[in-house]
Amino acid sequence: MIEIPFVLSITPVGSRVTCNPAPTDTDRDWLILVDQNEEWRVFEFLSTDGWELGGSLPDDENSTPPSDRFMSFTKGVDNIILTNASVFHRRFLAATSIAKHLNLLRKDDRIALFQAVLYGNAYEPPIF
C-alpha cells in the first residue's frame, strides 16, 4: 500500500486486482480520490516525493467534462490515477468490480469495459 497525505481514499485497481491469477509483470495501479481543496497539497507531495506527471492534460487544454477528469502519475512500478471527481471515482470502482467479477484477463476486454462505464463509449471491434 502506498501512503499519500491529504487524500480521501486510496484503492488498488488494475490487472493485479481484477485478474485471477494476478499478473506480476505489470505495474501496480492506485485510484486516489482527493478533495478539490486539498489537491494542491497532494500535487506538492507527489512532486517532492519523486512522482512524475503522466499523460494528463492541463485543465485549460482539457475538453473532458470535470466529472470525468483524472491526472496520472508514475513512480517505479506504481501508477496513480488521481481525481477529485466523485462520479469518476465511483464509476472507476464499479468498472473494476465488474472486471474482477468477470475475470477479464484480456487487456482489450478491460479497456472496452472501462470505456463503456467511464465514458459511455460503445465497443468497436478492431478493423483488420
pLDDT in tens, 48-76: 999 999 865 555 545 666 667 899 999 99
For residue 35, what pLDDT is reported?
Answer: 95
Residues 7-62 have pLDDT tens digits of 999 999 999 999 999 998 999 999 999 999 999 999 999 999 999 998 655 555 45
Are 99 and 112 in contact, with CB atoms under 8 Å apart?
no
Query: Could you tell me which residues are beta bridge partners of residue 46?
Result: none
Q: Set out the domains of the chain in order of their start, with CATH numbers.
A: 9-119 (3.30.460.10)
Whether the predicted pLDDT of 124 surpasses 90: no
Q: How far is CA 110 from CA 18, 56, 82, 107, in A?
A: 9, 20, 19, 5
For cell 478539490, the residue is 36
The residue among 60 and 95 whose pLDDT is bigger is 95
